[in-house]
Amino acid sequence: MEGSKPFLERKAINININYSDENLWVGMSKKPYISPSFSYIPLEETLEIVPKKKQLFIGIPRETSFQENRVALTPEAVSVLINNGHEIVVEHCAGEGSFYFDNDYSEAGARIAYEKSEVYKATTIIKSAPISDEEVALMQPGQVVISPIHMPFLKAHTLEQLVHKKIICIAFDSIKDDSGTYPIVRAMSEIAGSYSILTAAKYLSNVHNGKGILLGGISGIPPVKVLIIGAGIVGEFAARAAFGLGASVKIFDNSIYRLMRLQNNIGRRCFTSVIEPVTLAEELSVADVAVGALQPVNGITPVVVSDAMVSNMKAGSVIIDVSIDRGGCFETSHPTTHENPIYKKYDVIHYCVPNIASDVSRTASRAISNVLMPIMMESADLGGIDMLIQAKAGIRNGVYVYKGMITNAPIAKRFNFKYTDLDLLLAAQG
């Protein structure tokens, strides 16, 4: 019919424009034409599976060993975690070494425990000092412990108990971030490098029976000679502090790259050399301060300064062995304490405190807390520490005991324990 023709044409036009509308197909004798340039393939709807958040129960014990003054989580970090639904118990006086008091933690929402055993009922223990024998006895099977490692103090029977209880142990000084660096090590290294020069200045003064030398020197008097062994972060910040005080600085390292990077970072030319025994011995014999800042190799710092080299140093000169927590790079070094930080050998003052950053504990505590708090938040978002370990290679790098297995090769080799590769283990489980 002529009158219906415009209607049919109009309907056909609508179909070509919106052929998916089934209401326009009603009453038609022919199926609509669909251009070959289109494809009509039904797609499955995909939904992102969000892991179920897990409430954390974190315990922060008071440190009673290793002359530790730092605390792993500050009240500000505790407040953030509690406001996100997590439970935190803090042992009485845990933060006093860093001038954080019980009232600060209770106001942040934490529960204060007056018995250490109460703290160790938490599923995750966060410490600023290595695990002691007393604490291992209080630990519950299957707990998670995040703390540093001091290799010279690590004992075989402590590891055996951790393995027996199937505890997950994470060394926070071995945790890597997404850029592949060690954030806590870097922060502590910056502190240790700067503080090592301030410590050397202290022991050069008469107050501590030193030679009575001002480290920076003044007009008309030659500057103090500072020798730094190691061009890593500790060496860089020791050099910055020494230059800032006006000292003459010489830096040794076996990596040309690190020496170049250090000079570039501090923005000035200075004496640099590879660690060659004859040159090193000559420079040590005229140095007023020697800072040991070598990086460890397989968990142990190589000894590059022999007993004979130290015996030829000037009387009253100062050795600050920052690398003593991994064995030290001076043959004459052995660990000391904050109560008795120095000793003399060949009339050379040795300062060999392992946790040197603990002398400026509030700064160090904030630096540690700034790293650990986001890790705890991410752990909760992913569903717990186990899920975090599986998801983050940088966290796996810090795991040295995992549910009854030693997963750190240098530690296993040192104590002659069986070593298990954590990556392979998780891949087999997954």
Closest residue by Cα to residue 128 from 171, 166, 163, 165: 171
pLDDT confidence of residue 48: 54
Place 7 in a pLDDT band, splitting at 50, 70 and 90: very low
The pLDDT tens digits for 327-377 are 899 999 998 988 899 999 999 999 999 888 889 999 999 999 999 999 999
How far, in Å, CA of 219 to CA of 226, rounded? 18
Partners of 342 in beta bridges: 351
Q: Looking at residues 245-249, what average pLDDT do you find?
A: 94
Q: CB count, 10 Å around CB of 35? A: 7
Closest residue by Cα to residue 210 from 334, 320, 337: 320
Quick one: tokens of 283? 């420079």
Query: C-alpha angle 278/284/285, rounded to 5°?
Result: 95
Q: Active-site residue numbers?
A: 150
pLDDT confidence of residue 25: 43
For residues 268 and 291, which has the higher predicted lDDT (pLDDT)? 291
Q: Looking at residues 216-244, what average pLDDT do you find?
A: 93
Residue with tokens 């995750």: 124
pLDDT greater than 60 at residue 215:
yes
Query: C-alpha angle 64/68/69, rounded to 5°?
Result: 110
Inter-helix orientation angle 233-245/256-266, to 10°: 40
Are 118 and 110 contacting, i.e. CB atoms less than 8 angstroms apart? no
Partners of 251 in beta bridges: 228, 272
Query: C-alpha angle 17/22/26, rounded to 5°?
Result: 105
pLDDT greater than 90 at residue 31:
no
pLDDT confidence of residue 408: 92
Place 20 in a pLDDT band, splitting at 50, 70 and 90: very low
pLDDT confidence of residue 292: 96
Please count the residues of the chain: 430
The pLDDT tens digits for 298-327 are 778 899 999 999 999 999 999 999 999 888
pLDDT greater than 60 at residue 40:
no
Quick one: tokens of 331? 């043959």
Place 265 in a pLDDT band, splitting at 50, 70 and 90: very high
Give percent of the chain with pLDDT exceeding 70: 87
Torsion angle in degrees (nearest 10) through CA of 171, 62, 124, 404: 50
Ramachandran class of 99: left when φ > 0, alpha when ψ lies in -120 to 50, beta otherwise: left
pLDDT confidence of residue 45: 55
Are 30 and 58 contacting, i.e. CB atoms less than 8 angstroms apart? no
DSSP E strand boundaries for 182-322? 225-229, 248-252, 271-273, 289-292, 318-321
The pLDDT tens digits for 144-201 are 999 998 777 788 999 999 999 999 999 998 999 988 899 998 999 999 999 999 999 9
pLDDT confidence of residue 312: 96
Distance of CA 248 to the CA centre of its chain: 31
Question: In this structure, what are the phi and psi dihedrals at residue 418, rounded to the nearest 5 degrees?
Answer: -70, 135
pLDDT confidence of residue 300: 82
Question: In this structure, what are the phi and psi dihedrals at residue 299, rounded to the nearest 5 degrees?
Answer: 85, -5
Are 389 and 400 contacting, i.e. CB atoms less than 8 angstroms apart? no
Q: What is the DSSP string of 372-430?
A: HHHHHHHHHHHTSHHHHHHH-HHHHTTEEEETTEE--HHHHHHHTPPB--HHHHHHHH-
Partners of 238 in beta bridges: none
Place 261 in a pLDDT band, splitting at 50, 70 and 90: very high
DSSP H or E segment with residue 144: strand 144-147
Are 64 and 94 contacting, i.e. CB atoms less than 8 angstroms apart? no
Q: What sign results for the dihedral spanned by CA atoms 75, 77, 78, 79?
A: positive
Q: CB count, 10 Å around CB of 319? A: 28
Q: pTM of the prediction?
A: 0.79
Quick one: tokens of 113? 């425990």
Q: Looking at residues 103-111, what average pLDDT do you find?
A: 96
The pLDDT tens digits for 57-95 are 999 999 987 678 999 999 999 999 999 999 999 999 999
pLDDT confidence of residue 46: 54
Q: What is the mean pLDDT of the chain?
A: 87
pLDDT greater than 60 at residue 2:
no
pLDDT confidence of residue 51: 58
pLDDT confidence of residue 41: 53
Closest residue by Cα to residue 88 from 122, 127, 53, 128: 122
Quick one: tokens of 330? 């001076």
pLDDT confidence of residue 49: 55
How far, in Å, CA of 239 to CA of 182, rounded? 21
How far, in Å, CA of 183 to CA of 367, rounded? 9
How far, in Å, CA of 101 to CA of 82, rounded? 17
Place 19 in a pLDDT band, splitting at 50, 70 and 90: very low
